[in-house]
A and B are shown apart, each in its own frame.
Chain A
Amino acid sequence: MLTLALQQLLTKKLRSVLTVLGFGVCVNLYIVVTTVMRFITDDLDLQVQRFTGVLFVQSRGLTGLSGIEWPPISSTIAIEEADTVLRYPAVDLSRSSKVSFAALAPPPYPTAPPEALLVGIEAGKEDVFLNGASAIAGQPHFPTHSNGTDAVSAPPAILGVLAARHFARIATSTMEVPSPVGPIALAAIGSRISVRGGEFEVLGIIEPETNQLLRSAVLVPLEEAQCVLQTPQSVTAMLISPKRASDIDPLQQTIEAEHAELMVISDRQLAENARQLLDRVNQLFDVVRWTSVSVAALLIAIVMFVSVLERTRELGTLRAIGAPRRSLLSLILTESAGFAAAGSIVGVPMSRIVIRQALGPDAAGLRSRQIEWGAAGILSLCSMLAALMPAWRAVQVDPIIALRYE
């Protein structure tokens, strides 16, 4: 029966190739969507973890996907008001900072921060945002002093890997760094980049094993950010760390009570916001995933139905010479399994290429055998279930058909 099944697949070459390709595309789609889902989930988790114990302050009335804009690009807080908040006794000033966010490039995918995100932060407080992230080149901190020579230098910028890649196109010099998807060009240390008309000197590149927010960051001193954004009297947000962990809730309540126009977001709310965001995005992704499963199952069912209809006489002959039902059932299911196996063999490498192309350096470490095997398994199983209908039709073929002569 295996020989017969294989010969059938080989005989109808074009049909087999198209079916395998169709199934492969479905496997590919399932893997890509699942991988992106996992990537986004992990990344948002990392973003939230990075800000554990930190309060995010932004202006009210912003509309993110779930009520909180993340990162708060369109928020506006007056400098005086921000300074008032920072003067609260419970605030650990050394670990708190006013921040200005601005999008410099569109996000690479929904829920992602902009590919290049301007982050103006008070000099000396870079770690409030970086939270211990190190640099793969240069340094992750702004110079601590200013002198006569600095006056003629461009202000410093510390770039995440995505931002460094984004600015490689306009940087005065570039450097190549190895990555799992091959060498990539980044803005070189010491090179000059232009941000919203202002010129900055690249001081460091942040390690890539962080989250998407850090990977896309263009970290510059707050005053320089305000200058290029032309918002000298305002910032977009504040990152506030309380002196003691137990101060976090009272501090949040105090700020919100005394500053009605400000919204204070704790790490728990940030996590909840991320969860809500993920739920909505995952609902959409689930639709795509189950559509791919349905299409694969329908494809196999239709192809096998046509095959059974075409081979009625052959199946009747097999029944006439004594083939038991289970043999015909296994014949049809073996053919379906052949399509599913070949389709998976095509779809898995296809998905690796697509993920690489879509996510670039972010694709590093995303390949998951578990997802690949899972996708191939789920789609194959559903397709085999769908093939039961034509298989049942096959076992119903009357052997008398074999004895009819037209």
Chain B
Amino acid sequence: MSDDPTSADEPPALISVRNLERIYRLGEQTIHALRPLTLDIRSGDFIAIAGPSGSGKSTLLQLLGLVDSPSGGDVQVRGRSARDIGREQRAALRLHTLGFVFQAFNLLQMLTARQNVEIALALAGIPRRRRRQRAERLLTSVGLAARLHHRPLQLSGGERQRVAIARALANDPDVILADEPTGNLDLQTGREIVSLLEDLNRAGQTIVMVTHNLEMARRASRLFLMRDGEIREVDPSDADVQTSGLR
């Protein structure tokens, strides 16, 4: 990673991070959750950010997703600096440009799978008929054609995460930000979810996935390892990654 990773033959960055830093203060104690880091997320990337608990990977995702504000440095989403925009504009960027997938799925329990996807479309002002059609198409594409009218409690963990992915895709975002998407799933279901993310990436979807599971992380096209708030990019196929990264 250089200070200016953009080169002439690369597409412009969807999300550009420059000297990003996050510090928490607890009384007189200062915690460097994220030490100054720089990276670019380009169209078509499948980025995995791996690291042990407390390494700062979720903090980074929160900053990339504009739900938290940095202590220093900057995040630019499609060229717009997070420093220059207010809460409502950040929300609008999240709605139209970013798609969130949460570890705990975060589906609305009283809504059906289709309604959960529709809610993201409704927030974007899509008319009822069109959002219904799109929600059904998205749920079908993640293998849930037969589960449209099921509520979250009637779905398995893997199915819930598929609904969450469909919801994240609802407004055709530039980037999907997945926070431990397999963290609540058994190994096999986790692999299926990552396969689904791979399929989406092959179809052109940019994905940033935070995980503490190195097996899942190595399936990404770019792998970043985090430790004590510091980040470094490694080769996902490097056999030494396990020993050097998450230990």
Interface residues in chain A, defined as those with a beta carbon under 8 Å from any beta carbon in chain B: 1, 3-4, 7-8, 10-11, 313-314, 317-325, 327, 398-400, 402-403, 405
Contact = CB atoms under 8 A, between A and B. Distances in A.
Contacts of B102: 317, 320, 402-403, 405
B96 A3 contact: no
A11 B123 contact: no
29 contacts: A4-B119, A10-B110, A11-B110, A313-B106, A317-B102, A317-B106, A317-B108, A320-B67, A320-B94, A321-B94, A321-B95, A321-B99, A322-B93, A322-B96, A322-B120, A322-B124, A323-B91, A323-B95, A399-B67, A399-B94, A400-B62, A402-B102, A403-B58, A403-B61, A403-B65, A405-B103, A405-B104, A405-B180, A405-B183
Interface in B80-134: 87-88, 91-96, 98-100, 102-104, 106, 108-111, 115, 118-120, 122-124
B4 interface: no
A3 B111 contact: yes
Contacts of A402: 67, 100, 102, 106
B162 interface: no
Given A313-B106, A317-B108, A322-B95, A327 B123 contact: yes
B62 A322 contact: no
Contacts of A319: 67, 91
A313 B152 CA distance: 15
Contacts of B62: 400, 403
B123 to A, nearest CB: 5
A396 B46 CA distance: 33
B160 interface: no
Given A400-B67, A403-B62, A322 B94 contact: yes
B181 to A, nearest CB: 12
Contact of B92 (A8, A314, A322, A405): A322
A11 B109 CA distance: 9
Contacts of A317: 102, 106, 108
Closest 7 CB pairs of A and B: A322-B95, A322-B94, A7-B110, A11-B110, A317-B106, A399-B67, A405-B103
Main secondary structure of the interface of A (DSSP, over half): helix
B123 A323 contact: yes
A402 B61 CA distance: 12
A163 B94 CA distance: 74
Contacts of B168: 321
Contact of B91 (A11, A313, A324, A400): A324
A50 B210 CA distance: 86
Contacts of B109: 11
A405 B57 CA distance: 14
Residue among B108, B118, B168 with max Cβ neighbours from chain A (10 Å): B108
Nearest to A8: B110
A322 B119 contact: no
Given A323-B95, A324-B123, A7 B111 contact: yes
A321 B123 contact: yes
B122 A320 contact: no
Nearest to A400: B67
Nearest to B98: A322
Nearest to B128: A3
Interface string B136-172: 0000000000000000000000000000000110010
A399 B102 CA distance: 12
B45 interface: no
Nearest to A326: B88
A393 to B, nearest CB: 15
B179 interface: yes
B68 interface: yes
A263 to B, nearest CB: 70
A3 B120 contact: no
B100 to A, nearest CB: 5
A324 B125 CA distance: 11
Nearest to A313: B106
A23 B104 CA distance: 37
Given A321-B95, A325-B91, 17 more contacts: A3-B119, A11-B110, A317-B108, A318-B123, A319-B91, A321-B119, A321-B167, A321-B168, A322-B93, A322-B94, A322-B95, A322-B98, A403-B58, A403-B61, A403-B65, A403-B100, A405-B183
A4 B111 contact: yes
Contacts of A323: 91, 95, 123
A325 B67 contact: no
B92 A324 contact: yes
Contacts of B87: 325
A288 B106 CA distance: 45
B104 to A, nearest CB: 5
